[in-house]
A = this chain, B = another copy of it.
Amino acid sequence: MNTTVPAKPSAEILAEAARQHAILSEGTAAIYPEKGVHGKDGLFDKLVTSLMENRPLRIKLGMDPTAPDIHLGHTVALNAMRKFQNLGHKVLPLIGNYTALIGDPSGRNSTRPPLTEEQIMQNAETYKEQIFKIIENDPAKCRLMWNGDWLKELSFADTIKLCAQVSVAQLIAKEDFGNRLANQTPISLHEFLYPLMQGYDSIAMQEREGCDIEFGGTDQTFNCLMGRQLMQARGMEPQIVMTFPLLEGLDGVMKMSKSKANYIGVTENPTDMFGKTMSIPDSLLDRWYSLLTTIPAAERPSHPMEAKKKLAHFITARFHGEAAADEARTAFESRFSKREMPTDMPELKLPLEALTTLTDLVVAANFATSKSEARRLIEQGGVKLNGEQHKDPTAPVKLETPFILQVGKLKLAKITA
């Protein structure tokens, strides 16, 4: 499996590798190694090799079949896999069925109970159903693998040999292990074996199907690099590692996680999926666009409410189709109007073309007695357009009419041109 990159790839190959690299590296948190042979990073080298040898790259992504519900946080890497597929590469989703069978034998980690074979198969079925909404289930472009296939064959002697490749100091240097030792929070020795198990998966996959790249969240960096190290120790061409940012959940702060109830499951109905996306804070928009959509930056609406609608529509359409997404948007808009807006609100016809800033609008609506009062109200967060807070007094007002202007709790108007 040792693929030696010939010294001189052609200009065409370098150009094509650069084109793919630009697409595939977008949205990643890091690529290891950072420096490659051909002037960029490890991904660039792998692309060059793939083009020169005229074979697809094979990308590993491990999944733990303990919780069958995939949420949007999981789809970040799946989206990236889909981009590889679109460029002709092959993805290898790996089900960690062996690990799930064992659970956490120390009993300390209650989120890791041992599962039965039946539960694992059921969860895996659910997984497949969910992931194939994002990645293509075409045998030429995808092979589902199971780590029980090789881990059940691993002897104690094999384990000893594997462990001989890794130093205790290296494991203690891993952030969470180091912190727990420092805080005297117990670490069971089997926890030291999990990163090695993940690394051995890469070895076994390299032997069976090829394993050029491993994907993981940024919290998986250590474990993914372990695979690199163990492959090298066997004289194998090591995988490269691509990590992805952890998606913040609906609260805008914490990592999206089932246990924190700040997630959107990929099987949620279109109404909830659309509505929950509309509820994210504006500060998350850039992240969600870049991690969850393929919409180019130029096509993102500048107004947060509009940007959220487009995002919510994209996400809903991906899992439920265009028609369901359209319907969810209409339902949301009608619910939004009913819930937020009094029916007896005054209607104001304003010369919008003449009002260049939000300050102008507030004054023109008679919701402030002076420009300076209007500015203060805006800066203090008291002004909303279509229910969205706006804090920049100089922002231009570019909304489709009619729209709702609200100042404080009581001053409301439907603005028409």
Residues of A within 8 A of B (CB): 98, 101-102, 104-106, 151-152, 154-169, 171-172, 177, 181, 184, 186-193, 196-197
- Verify B161–A189 contact, CB threshold 8 A: no
Task: Tell me the bound Cα distance from A151 to B159 in angstroms.
Answer: 12
| Distance from A120 Cβ to chain B, minimum over Cβ atoms (Å) | 14
A168 near B193 with CB under 8 A, answer: no
Does B154 contact A167, Cβ atoms closer than 8 Å?
no
A-B contact pairs, 25 of them (CB 8 A): A98-B157, A102-B161, A105-B161, A106-B164, A151-B156, A152-B155, A154-B156, A156-B158, A156-B197, A159-B193, A160-B193, A161-B190, A163-B190, A163-B192, A163-B193, A164-B190, A166-B189, A168-B172, A168-B177, A168-B187, A168-B189, A169-B181, A169-B184, A169-B187, A192-B192
Majority SS at the chain A contact face = helix
Q: Which of B101, B104, B186, B191 contacts A157 (CB 8 A)?
A: B101
Closest to A162 in B: B190
Rounded to whole angstroms, the CA-CA distance of A321 and B160 in the bound complex is 44
* Cα distance, A26 to B83, chains bound together (Å): 75
Please, which residues of chain B bring their CB within 8 A of the CB of A156? 98, 151-152, 154, 158-159, 197
Asked whether B159 lies within 8 Å of A181 as measured between CB atoms, the reply is no
Whether B151 contacts A163 by the Cβ 8 Å rule is no
Which residues of the partner chain B approach A104 to less than 8 Å between Cβ atoms?
164
For A155, give the chain B residue with the smallest CB separation.
B152
A160: chain B residues within 8 A (beta carbon): 102, 105, 190, 193
Complex CA distance for A98 and B196, rounded to whole angstroms? 22
Given A106-B164, A106-B165, A161-B105, A171:B152 Cβ within 8 A = no
Contact status of A168 and B154, CB under 8 A, knowing A105-B161, A160-B105: no
B159 and A188 within 8 A (CB): no
By the criterion CB–CB under 8 Å, are B166 and A188 in contact? yes
Chain B positions within 8 Å of A157 at CB level:
98, 101-102, 152
